[in-house]
Amino acid sequence: MIDLHSHVLPNLDDGAKNLEEAVEMCRIAAGDGIRILAATPHYRPKVYENGEENIFSAVSGLQEVLDREGISLKLVPGVDILVSPEVIPFLERNPGLTFGGRYALVELPAQFVPPSTEDFFFRMRLKGFTPILTHPERNAAIQDNMRILEGMVDKGVLVQVTAMILTGDFGDHVGVIAVRMVKSGLAHLIASDAHSPRRRVSILSRARRVLEELVGHEKARMMLEETPRRILQG
């Protein structure tokens, strides 16, 4: 399996606190059958000022440790960007943090969808970037009105649902929303959004079993293997 969303790099955001946690997160992922893990720390202006230089360095350093420890996991660099006017200039300055030179993880605020979001995604696509909207099941406005997400998908936005939310680990309400997204075809891939080796972990196998019950074996395989692979290949 391929996990395209994790906060595994130590000391870059609210994810892994140190190298030991990062290695343990990777060990858990490899043990769960994940073979490729995207290390995608937050980029938020004036909060998490991550870019190619420090992310590439952190990925290289962690990969060296994994190889030395015999942990069979390939890391790829990425970034998880909060919707803002700075996103497009940031991606143009840091193209190596897209997947396949094209796809970028983008997240919304938790409580609302900014009025300019539709125009923002349109401008991203004009510049050659395809947004992958991370965990929209956690957004309060989308929870209340799924048509907001339908409109985004109709305009070419891809959607990533969080594995542990789909399996109900974050409560029934948001879990039901995630299931609705999957069953209605609004979710294109599943990722862990892992932040630690304890509560928010890089485990996809449990979500795979839920997916197989909801949409069948082949669709589950597409969401956890083939679609992420195609995204990485551009």
pLDDT digits (tens, 9 = 90+) for 109-164: 999 999 989 999 999 999 999 999 999 999 999 999 999 999 999 999 999 999 99
Tell me: pLDDT of 170 over 80: no
pLDDT at position 172: 80
pTM of the model: 0.96
Residue 169: pLDDT band with limits 50, 70, 90 = confident
Mean pLDDT of the chain: 96
Q: Can you list the domains of the chain with their CATH numbers? A: 2-232 (3.20.20.140)
pLDDT digits (tens, 9 = 90+) for 82-97: 998 889 999 999 999 9
State how far the Cα of 212 lies from the Cα of 222, in Å rounded to an integer: 11
Tell me: pLDDT of 171 over 90: no
pLDDT digits (tens, 9 = 90+) for 196-209: 999 889 999 999 99
pLDDT digits (tens, 9 = 90+) for 110-122: 999 999 899 999 9
pLDDT at position 199: 83
> What is the percentage of the chain residues whose pLDDT exceeds 70?
100
Tell me: pLDDT of 66 over 90: yes
pLDDT at position 131: 97
**Full DSSP string of the chain:** -EE--B--STTSSSS--SHHHHHHHHHHHHHTT--EEEE--EEBTTTB---HHHHHHHHHHHHHHHHHHT---EEEE--EEESSTTHHHHHHH-GGGSBTTTEEEEE--SS---TTHHHHHHHHHHTT-EEEEE-GGG-HHHHH-THHHHHHHHTT-EEEEEHHHHTTTT-HHHHHHHHHHHHTT---EEE--B-SSSSS----HHHHHHHHHHH-HHHHHIIIIIHHHHHHT-
State how far the Cα of 41 lies from the Cα of 47, in Å rounded to an integer: 12
Q: How far is CA 65 from CA 14, 58, 129, 219, in A?
A: 21, 11, 32, 34
Residue 183: both structure tokens together: 């069953």
**Mean of the pLDDT values across residues 28-43?**
98
pLDDT at position 140: 96
State how far the Cα of 76 lies from the Cα of 62, in Å rounded to an integer: 11
7-16, 40-49, 59-68, 133-142: segment of lowest average pLDDT:
40-49
Tell me: pLDDT of 4 over 90: yes
pLDDT at position 184: 95
